Amino acid sequence: MLGAQVLGAQAPGAPTGRVTGTITTSAVGLAPMRVTIDPKVCGQQLPDHAIVVDGQGHLANAVVVLTGVKRQAAAEATITNDRCAFVPRVQIVRPNAAVKTTSKDPVLHTTSAQTANGRTLFNVALPIAGLTVTKAVGGTGTVRVSCNTHPWMRAWLVVTDEAAAISGADGRFAIDGVPPGSYDLRIWHESLTSAPQKVTVTAGKATEVSVRMK
């Protein structure tokens, strides 16, 4: 999937490189949350996915963005309200993407999207299972998605017009089709931070990075 992505100003067929890496952390996973609201649907306790890390410290759900490499991310994202959690938790979309929110739960959820400075983009009610509502997110930035009836629910949309990837359960990420050059790699995580890194990409090669988040 990554190999087929559209390039920026690069002439078609010009040689490119790739950036790969692993994201780790010393932070540990969080204890499950006790649930007292709608336990029949949500269950008595839920995992807290604010930090998803495996035994080796591999961190999932971190987003890396290669500054200056223009790329069209997904024009559409679907957020599913499933057992009182948003699935998936983190997605990358392009500016003005259509966000579809849908519910599998027979309780009222709301999908409330806020920009980093707290402005509400939309807040829609999903009173029953099976509904899908589509709304647009605006310009670039990180959009926080929450539910006003289940305050622990969280999802994030990284809205960007630059090449970006999300780390998997093993902490790995990859960005293909990068024109040779030097770039800043920005790393975002909902609860952890790390400074940007310089990466130099050479044609036909993979540049391996390792990022540690605190």
Partner 1 sequence: MAIPPLRYAAWRRLWTDEWSFPVDERLPHPAGTAPDSGDSRGKCCIVFGVTSLLLAAVLAIGEIATGQARATETGPTTIPEMWGAWCARCHAEDGTGQVSEPTITGVPMDFTDCAVTTREPDADWERAIAKGGSGVGLSPEMPGFEDSLTPAQIAGFVPHLRAFCRDTGWPSGNLNFPRPIITEKAFPEDEFLLLPAISHESEPASASATNVGLIAAYERRFGRRAMYEVSIPFYNWDFLTSRDSEIGDIAVALKYVAYASATTPRIVSFGLEATLPTGRLYKGFGKGTVVFEPYIAAGTMLRSWYVQGHGKVELPVDPLVDRAYLYNLYVGRDSSSAPDAWTLGVELNGENKQLWITPQIRKGLTATGALAASLGVSIPVKYQREKVVSWVGYLLWEFLEPLRARK
Q: Which residues bind partner 1 (CB under 8 A)?
A: 36-37, 40, 104, 106-108, 110, 112, 118, 120, 122-131, 133, 148-151
Helix ranges (H only) for the chain are 39-42
Q: What, of partner 1, ligand HEC, none, does residue 133 touch, CB below 5 to 8 Å by kind? A: partner 1
Q: Is 3 helix (H, G, I), strand (E, B) or coil?
A: helix
Q: How far apart are CA 97 and CA 75, in angstroms?
A: 5
Q: In degrees rounded to 5, what are phi and psi of residue 17? A: -120, -175
Cα–Cα distances (Å) from 196 to 123, 185, 186, 188, 193, in that order, read 33, 5, 5, 9, 10
Question: Do the Cβ atoms of 169 and 58 come closer than 8 Å?
Answer: yes
Residue showing the smallest CB distance to ligand HEC in the complex: 148
Rounded to a whole number of angstroms, the minimum distance from the CB of residue 39 to partner 1 is: 12
Rounded to a whole number of angstroms, the minimum distance from the CB of residue 118 to ligand HEC is: 15
Question: Do the Cβ atoms of 103 and 201 come closer than 8 Å?
Answer: no
Rounded to a whole number of angstroms, the minimum distance from the CB of residue 11 to ligand HEC is: 52
Length of the chain counted residue by residue: 214
β-strand 90-103 against 154-159: which pairing, if any? parallel
Q: In degrees rounded to 5, what are phi and psi of residue 2? A: -70, -35
Compose the 122-161 pattern: x for residues touching ligand HEC by CB under 6 A, - for all others: --------------------------xx------------
Rounded to a whole number of angstroms, the minimum distance from the CB of residue 147 to partner 1 is: 8
The reply on whether position 112 binds ligand HEC by CB under 6 A is: no
Q: What, of ligand HEC, partner 1, none, does residue 46 touch, CB below 5 to 8 Å by kind? A: none
Rounded to a whole number of angstroms, the minimum distance from the CB of residue 129 to partner 1 is: 7
Among 81, 110, 167, 194, binds ligand HEC (CB under 6 A): 110
* Footprint of ligand HEC (CB under 6 A): 108, 110, 148-149
